[in-house]
Amino acid sequence: MTTLDGPWTLRHVAANGARFQVAEVGSGPLVLFLHGFPEFWWAWRHQLLAVADAGFHAVAMDLRGYGGSDKTPRGYDPVTLAADVAGVIRTLGAQDAVVVGQGWGGYVGWAVAAGQPTCVRGLVAISAPHPLEMLRPSQLLRRAPLVHVMAMQLPWLPERRIMGTDYVARHLAAWSARGSGFPSAVEAAEYRTALGRWPSPHCALEYHRWLVRSRLRADGRAFAAMMRSRIGVPVLQLRGHADIVVSPRAVSRSARHVEGTHAAVDIGSAGHFPHEEQPGAVTRALLTWLAAQSGDAVSGGDRLT
């Protein structure tokens, strides 16, 4: 179990047949944060307090297979992962939540909004285009994500690389903007430690493997059909200006899948991990958007931990 000290409360909650570790602070309407690869709930340490201070119940969860959550032998398809998130929302005592996700967490966030719409009152997708746009050749064939995803299809070698080398630090640095300073040595060590505990590497890579293997399977076609339902809640998309993974076109085209309001914000001097590279800018954009959705004035946005 990952237990990093801070002003949050760490506990486990049961949902969808598994246990999930959550870090929570504050009270009010629920804002649920979903991390991406190769991180865990701690990725949101910069945003949790500011969102709680603005009058929300801010919660960051470890996705299935990561951190302190259960490492189940299966369940790494987006339909199951969306059910995980919906279950956590209800276990936390909320009817719905604003879901904030980065990378794979954003991918899951889109799936929750489409497949479990009554649980979502708003979506913030960071470095995560709509799944149907992510699978378009113009986006999928970008060199960085293509090489990354295809390398993860090999059996066992990627797991050994994660556990036995500085792969995590190199991956975070390669996908961040030059000069951002992320990851620091401390951050790299925390993420390597959390992901390096078996079977976490295998579980994390199952996300990538499902993405490719499902293309010709019935479950992949069913997911694509589910995602053709237009998203009926407000959506905010954030993209690091120097992101080598997500194209600006994939973000702009994502708006066609949204019936609710859609806004997009470019985060300067940031790559694929803007919530960590430029946390103040991401927090300000998030709080401004949350205030617009609630109709209330929200202060703060620069508080970092």
Q: What is the mean pLDDT of the chain?
A: 94
Question: Residue 177: pLDDT band by 50, 70, 90 thresholds?
Answer: very high
Question: Residue 53: pLDDT band by 50, 70, 90 thresholds?
Answer: very high
Is 95 within 8 Å of 84 (Cβ atoms)?
Answer: no
Pick the more confident residue, 300 or 197.
197
- Which stretch of DSSP H or E encloses residue 192? helix 185-195
pLDDT of residue 4: 86
Half-sphere exposure of 131 (CA within 13 A, CB side): 30
- C-alpha 183, offset from chain centre: 17
pLDDT of residue 140: 72
Q: How many residues does the chain have?
A: 305
Question: Residue 5: pLDDT band by 50, 70, 90 thresholds?
Answer: confident
| 234 to 124, 203, 216, 274: CA distances (angstroms) | 9, 31, 32, 21
pLDDT of residue 135: 82
Is 190 within 8 Å of 144 (Cβ atoms)?
Answer: no
Question: Residue 3: pLDDT band by 50, 70, 90 thresholds?
Answer: low
At residue 149, the 3 state secondary structure works out as helix
Number of Cβ atoms within 10 Å of the Cβ of 23: 27
At residue 268, φ and ψ (nearest 5 deg) are -70, 155
- Which stretch of DSSP H or E encloses residue 263? strand 262-267
Q: What is the pLDDT of residues 190-235, one digit of tens each?
A: 999 999 999 999 999 999 999 999 998 999 999 999 999 999 999 9
Domain 9-294 has CATH 3.40.50.1820: yes
What ranges do the domains of the chain cover?
Answer: 9-294
pLDDT of residue 299: 41
* pLDDT of 55 strictly over 80: yes
pLDDT of residue 141: 77
| 180 to 22, 81, 94, 122: CA distances (angstroms) | 28, 31, 36, 29
Lowest mean pLDDT among 13-22, 31-40, 112-121, 291-300: 291-300
Residue 133: exposure state from Cβ atoms within 10 A (0-12, 13-18, ≥19): buried
